[in-house]
A and B are shown apart, each in its own frame.
Chain A
Amino acid sequence: MAKEQLATQQAPGTSSPKPKMHVPAEQVAYAKMINYGQWIGVGILVVTFFIYMSGIMPGLVAPEQVAQTWNLSATEFLEVNQLPHGWAWLGMLGYGNFLSLLGIAWLAVLTIVAYLAFLVPAYMKQKDIPFLTIVIVEVLVLTLAASGILGSGGH
């Protein structure tokens, strides 16, 4: 049984405590990391988007040009604006539009990091083989999706 956090809740206007909620420690730790992580992600999104929109760091494609082509499919949009797909954007962070993707990528990678940081060690420590297997396979699935190995779809 996992070490648990006990949260006593007091009913308004009464002195008798309500039943205690049992929340596993790994669940609380996971929640804390996601909470901090998503706020950092918001910070990155706000700052990088401001940098892009204000023109401090112009995009490879100007916002006006993006607006003229956002009615095209993703494949056509990339072709017309001569933009890369996959992870190539990571090498082009000097452009505002790619810099703005950093916060989005951060949010999309948080779950993978939280699994590795808290859930894998917790279930390993508890010798909970079924859930250890589940979280390891999940990390592999998410990493595979993020890697771009699976290739591109497109119309």
Chain B
Amino acid sequence: MLNTLTEKFNEFTLAVSTAMPDVANSVSAAAGTPDSPWWIWPIILFVTTFVLGIIAVLAGVGGGVLFVPIVGSFFPFHLDFVRGAGLIVALAGALAAGPGLLRKGLANLRLALPVALIASTFSIVGAFIGLALPQDILQMALGVTICAIATLFIFSKNSDKPNVPGPDGLAKSLKISGTYVEETTGKAVDWTIHRTIKGYLTFIMIGLIAGMFGLGAGWANVPVLNLLMGAPLKLAVGSSKFLLSITDTSAAWIYINNGAVIPIIAVPSVLGIMMGSQVGVKLLSKSKPKAVRYLVIGMLMFAGITSFLKGMGVM
């Protein structure tokens, strides 16, 4: 049973490696060589995060959600430093992409600011929980979480323009509504949200998980903003990316203050993700959300299973 699972997993690894040949092969090669010089890791980190930066922006997820499981599974760093760097990576990616999205109107302050407050507050709590848990438990929990995120991506059906009969009381009183221009059709899209209280409560859990695993939170922001609260998909993706810059700031400070951010790991990762994000944001307005989703689902499933097996001591 385990052999079959391992075989299937190896096949899957090969498929993903084919999608990202240079990066994956470099990591595998270095990981298999215990005598690799220390400086090889920052270089591989830089290349890896550059690629992740592009993909993360196109998928509307934080770089952290891809960075933490992949780097945590294939690089020799303790998970504390990976999560610390993951938050800085997610923060940097959001800061790089945010201005373009805000200027284009693809991110909306009235939509993002209230949920950012909730998520950033609870990400502090999550960060303390994450720093208190043993690494193997955390690695397994991370694997399960990542696989759950991938499953969420598979089964949730995002809607380009959800049907919102009208704003609920809270959305109305906070004036959360507007118009954005869909670039692919040139049409103006009026939007508002509903189920606002339910959505805000969900962001408590999102904040906790983001801080605990250093994941960022785009993977959850987008479906909650889009499916639950009814924001148009592109606006949900853009606003998600922007609010990550706020959510991750609070958790990042907890990791910095606890010595879980070290420059040799964090700086190459941040530089890679920022450069990748700049490329990604240029492609965003013309991207097809569904195509990007399939790529991200594959990467998340791969990274999640790897993380879980590593926590179990199998890998």
Chain A residues packing against B (C-beta within 8 Å): 7, 9, 11, 18-24, 26-28, 30-32, 34-35, 37-38, 41-42, 45-46, 48-49, 52, 63-64, 66-68, 70-75, 77-78, 83-87, 97, 100-101, 103-105, 107-108, 110-112, 119, 130-131, 134-135, 137-138, 141-142, 144-146, 148, 150, 152-155
Chain B residues closer than 8 Å to A134, beta-carbon distance = 113-114, 117
Interface residue stretch chosen among B159-167, B215-223, B261-269: B261-269
A104 and B263 contact, CB distance less than 8 A: yes
A104 to B102, CA, bound (A): 23
Judging by beta carbons under 8 Å apart, are B120 and A74 in contact?
A: no
20 further interface pairs, Cβ-Cβ under 8 Å (given A22-B105, A35-B99): A9-B183, A11-B186, A27-B102, A30-B109, A34-B98, A38-B274, A45-B271, A63-B264, A77-B80, A78-B259, A85-B258, A86-B257, A87-B257, A107-B92, A108-B252, A108-B253, A141-B250, A145-B253, A152-B131, A152-B258
Contact A31 B98 (CB under 8 A): yes
Q: Which of B76, B113, B186 contacts A19 (CB 8 A)?
A: B186
Contact code string B137-172 (vs A, CB < 8 Å = 1, else 0): 000000000000000000000000000000000000
* CB–CB A141/B110 < 8 A: no
Chain A residues closer than 8 Å to B77, beta-carbon distance? 70-71
Contact A28 B102 (CB under 8 A): yes
Residue of B nearest to A20 (CB): B181
Beyond A145-B250, A153-B258, whether A130 also contacts B173 by CB under 8 A is yes
The 20 listed contacts between A and B (C-beta, < 8 Å) are A18-B186, A19-B187, A19-B188, A32-B99, A35-B100, A38-B99, A66-B38, A74-B84, A75-B259, A85-B257, A97-B262, A100-B263, A104-B270, A130-B173, A134-B113, A142-B250, A142-B253, A146-B253, A152-B258, A153-B258
Q: How far is the CA of A90 from the CA of B252 in the complex (A)?
A: 17
Bound-complex Cα distance A131 to B255 (A)? 28
Query: B253: which A residues are within 8 A, CB to CB?
Result: 108, 142, 145-146, 148
Binds A, one of B4-12, B121-129, B306-314: B121-129
Which residue, of B131, B132, B183, has the highest number of chain A Cβ atoms within 10 A?
A: B131
Residues of A within 8 A of B102 (CB): 23, 27-28, 30-31, 34
Could you tell me if A142 and B84 are in contact, using CB atoms closer than 8 angstroms? no
Asked whether A63 and B254 contact (CB < 8 A) given A138-B246, A141-B121, the answer is: no
Q: How far is the CA of A23 from the CA of B245 in the complex (A)?
A: 19
Which residue of chain A is the closest to B180 with respect to CB atoms? A21
Q: Chain B CB within 10 Å — which of A32, A42, A64 has the most?
A: A42
Q: Are B174 and A131 in contact (CB under 8 A)?
A: yes
Q: Which residue of A lies closest to B95 (CB)?
A: A38
- The one of A9, A107, A137 that contacts B88, using a Cβ cutoff of 8 Å: A107
Give the shortest distance, in Å, between B137 (CB) and chain A (any CB).
11
Distance in angstroms between the alpha carbons of A20 and B179 in the assembled complex = 9
B210 to chain A, nearest CB (A): 13
Please give, as numbers and ranges, the residues of chain B lying within 8 Å of A64 by CB-CB distance: 38
Q: Are A135 and B113 in contact (CB under 8 A)?
A: yes
Do B117 and A107 touch across chains, with their CB atoms under 8 A apart? no
Complexed CA–CA distance, A101 and B113 (Å): 28
Assembly CA distance A119 to B88 (angstroms): 23
Q: Does B135 contact A (CB under 8 A)?
A: yes
B302 interfacial by beta-carbon distance below 8 Å:
no
Q: Specify which of B174, B180, B187, B267 is in contact with A49 (CB 8 Å cutoff).
A: B267
Nearest CB on A from B263, distance (A): 3
Query: Which residue of B132, B179, B186, B253 has the most chain A CB atoms within 10 A of its CB atom?
Result: B253
Q: List, in ascending order, chain A residues with CB within 8 A of B240's CB.
A: none
Name the A residues within 8 Å of B116 (CB-CB).
138
Query: Which residues of the partner chain A approach B173 to less than 8 Å between Cβ atoms?
Result: 130
